[in-house]
Structure 1
Amino acid sequence: MPSASIPDTVEHIRSAARLLVRELGFMGGDFAGGNLSPSAVHALIEIEAGQVSARDLGLLLHLEKSSVSRMLRKLITSGEVVEQSTADGRLKRLALTEAGQKRLAAIHAFARAQVAEALARLQPGQDRVVLAGLQLYAKALGANAAPPAVEIAEGYRSGLTARITQMHAEYYARHAGFGRQFEAVVAGGLAGFSGRLDRPRNAIWAALQGDQIVGSIAIDGEDLGGNCAHLRWFITDDAVRGSGAGRQLLDAALGFVEAQGFEATHLWTFSGLSAARHLYEAHGFELVEERPGQQWGSEVLEQKFVRLRR
């Protein structure tokens, strides 16, 4: 028996939640009008959104790696999901096949009809009460859950220049002692580049976690000349470092490089950033030059990496 100190509201919410779970089919039998498990249905919906890997599914659905692997193996075997290679051969994106798209269309149709039928039984205006209540409760339940998955978005967005400058200034102040001079150079370079973003050989990407910008990368296809791409302003926020966001950004940028037919990609960085160097080398970059530099406010060993067209 529940303690008398627990408010009745808590028990009523628990009872309603159990009923909701049973009525939606989570306890067994047909779910969403078909024979797929709830986790497989949710996986198809997330894959439909695009740019999702197996690791992303684990985070989004709160599933163990082994559970995701088993589920995806069944969906791939049934011909509803395929794996697509990226610039990094070790990372594969998931996509729906035509059969998968048809299956998901049927799921959406069933679920929409199910919701519409239930709402039709309510009094006018009660549908909005249901919506507001579910949104509030879901948000409260997820308050301590893992943060949203990182998404990569191409193109300029409001606040991007300022946010990239901030991430660079804070990171390099801690790791290299850079200050006002470095921040001014970053901001000035970004301002000039933003004016050329409408040209087809230039592009920029942001890593987004919800509505927060947590990373960036750009390809400047004009400043080096000679059909060379310049990889610039590659950084991730501390909150997502080690999550794969940097790899996602680099994949996007190098995919653009290949599509544009650049012969080589150059980047400059500093010695001591071992994680970044490992990522560059894993993507085919090679160290070709080192030299001391003092133009950033303190002396560092600058490094030039080059990746030739494959």
Structure 2
Amino acid sequence: MKEKIDLITEIRGFNRFYTNILGLLDQHILDSGYSLTEARVLFEISKTERCTANQLCSSLKVDRSYMSRMITKFEKRGLLTRHQSPTDNRHMEIRLTEEGMKLFHELNNRSNRQIGELLTKLDDEQQKKIWEAMRTIKKYLTVATSNIEIRPYIEDDVEYVIDRQLSLYESERHFTSEIWKKYLVKGVMALIEKFNPEKDCMYILEFNGNPAGCVAITHTRDDTAQFRYFFLEPELRGLGAGHKLMDMALNFCREKNYKHIFLWTVSAQETARVLYKNAGFEITQTSKNEDWGVPVLEEKWELDL
């Protein structure tokens, strides 16, 4: 192991190097007429139906007056709307309009394309090494600087669970059909309406005090449970948070004396599939589905406890 001063110097040097790389990538956003900070604000608003200026300032560490100017700018351009919170008259909730969501996805796709073009200069093995190195850096610096907790859901989490899954599946898997959206919303609401704490659970993972992931268990028969609504925010993947969520859900099943668990996923969910396999789940059924907006191969995974 290097002397601590050598490690400190290496980290600072890497920080300067990576900041320069980010400057080149961020220029792609700036060419759109929106700053990187504005793009991040749009991203944060897109994550949930219930968003306030205070939440944005807290999560992004942005000055309140600057945030106010950005929100006013977006509102004038028809990218968002503001309305009084139904639960707290002191707050105004912010939502992206259809035009705002369109812009968010455009900026997101711009960034994805540029990074994709950057990676074409490297072969598969070099790309793999970058991926592994970044996951390692994220993992240990998150351990050193962040606070991750898992708690039972509360009523305010329901919209987050629905909105983030709709957004993540649209941006990452291109699920855009109304059939898919209705299926997801109907499923989550059915869980909440019929929620039995002796048989069901839904856990929310918090990252520095903000919702950043979810997992749920629903009962189907007395001894059989379904594993559902498992997702993590992209910045937390590869840090062990997914393992923690899964362990929490499986421990709940054992405590409630379930004998069998099953889940449905799609073959493109490669990272999640590794977690399922490592936990002992096995694929027992597959079927093609073209209802979600793109053709997918659905998979049923099962586990005996």
Using structure 1 for the length normalisation, give the TM-score: 0.50
Q: Show CA shifts across 1:126-155 (max 9, x none).
A: xxxxxxxxxxxxxxxxxxxx4x3211112x
Structure 2 residue 152 is matched with structure 1 residue 169? no
Task: Using the TM superposition, name which of 225-234 and 173-182 deviates more.
Answer: 173-182
What is the distance in 1 between the residues matched to 2:272 and 2:168?
13
Alignment-derived partner of residue 230 in structure 2: 234
Work out whether 1:178 is the aligned partner of 2:180: no
Counterpart for residue 52 of structure 1: none
Cα distance change of structure 1 residues 61 and 287 upon mapping to structure 2, 3 Å threshold:
closer
Quote how far apart the aligned CAs of 1:175 are.
Answer: 2.8
Specify which of 240, 243, 268 is matched with residue 247 of structure 1. Answer: 243
Check conservation: 1:164, 1:216, Cα contact below 8 A.
Answer: yes
Quick check: 1:287 aligned with 2:283?
A: yes
Alignment of 1:269 with 2:280, yes or no, is no
Taking a change above 3 Å as real, the CA distance of residues 197 and 58 of structure 1, as seen in their structure-2 partners, is same
SS in 1 for 2:214: strand
Percent identity of the aligned residues? Answer: 24
Distance in structure 2 (CA, Å) of the matches to 1:268 and 1:203: 17
Determine if contact 1:167/1:236 at 8 Å carries over to the other structure.
no
1:85-96 alignment, distance < 5 Å? none
Which residue of 184, 187, 200 maps to 1:202? 200
**What are the superposed Cα offsets for residues 237-276 of structure 1, whole Å, 9 maximum, x if unpaired?**
1121111111110000000011111111000000122111
Would you say 1:302 and 2:289 are equivalent positions?
no
Q: C-alpha displacement at 1:174, in angstroms?
A: 2.3
For 2:244 and 2:300, how far apart are their aligned partners in 1?
22
2:256, 2:161 → 1: CA distance?
Answer: 24
Q: What's 1:82 paired with? A: none
Counterpart of 1:189? 187
Cα distance in 2 between the residues matched to 1:160 and 1:253: 17
**CA distance in structure 1 between the partners assigned to 2:164 and 2:281 by the alignment:** 24
- CA–CA distance in 1 between the matches of 2:202 and 2:195? 8
Q: Map of 1:1-310 to 2, 5 A cutoff? A: 62=144, 146=145, 148-154=146-152, 156-181=153-178, 182-221=180-219, 224-225=220-221, 227-309=223-305
On the 8 A contact 1:59/1:149 being kept in 2, the answer is no
* Distance in 1 of aligned mates of 2:140 and 2:250: 26
Structure 1: which 5+ runs fail to align? Answer: 1-56, 63-145
Distance in 2 (CA, whole Å) between partners of 1:58 and 1:292 is 39
TM-score by length of 2: 0.51
Letter in 1 for 2:288: P
- Whether the 8 Å contact between 2:177 and 2:291 is mirrored in structure 1 is no
Deviation at 1:61, TM superposition (A): 7.8
Deviations 1:201-258 (A, max 9, x none): 011100001321100000001xx32521100000001121111111110000000011
- For 1:173 and 1:61, how far apart are their aligned partners in 2? 30
Rounded Cα–Cα distance in structure 2 between residues aligned with 1:58 and 1:280: 23
The secondary structure found in structure 2 opposite 1:178 is coil
**Residues 56-106 of structure 1, C-alpha deviations (whole Å, 9 max, x = no match):** x976884xxxxxxxxxxxxxxxxxxxxxxxxxxxxxxxxxxxxxxxxxxxx
The separation in 2 between residues aligned to 1:169 and 1:61, in whole angstroms, is 29
Q: Which runs of 4+ in 1 moved over 6 A?
A: none
CA distance in 2, matches of 1:172, 1:60: 25
RMSD: 2.2
Instruction: Select the structure that is richer in helix.
Output: 2
Note closer, same or farther for the CA distance 1:271–1:60 as it changes in structure 2 (3 Å cut).
closer
Contact 2:213/2:231, CA 8 A, preserved across alignment: yes
Residues 265 and 307 in structure 1, CA contact (< 8 A), matched pair in contact too: yes
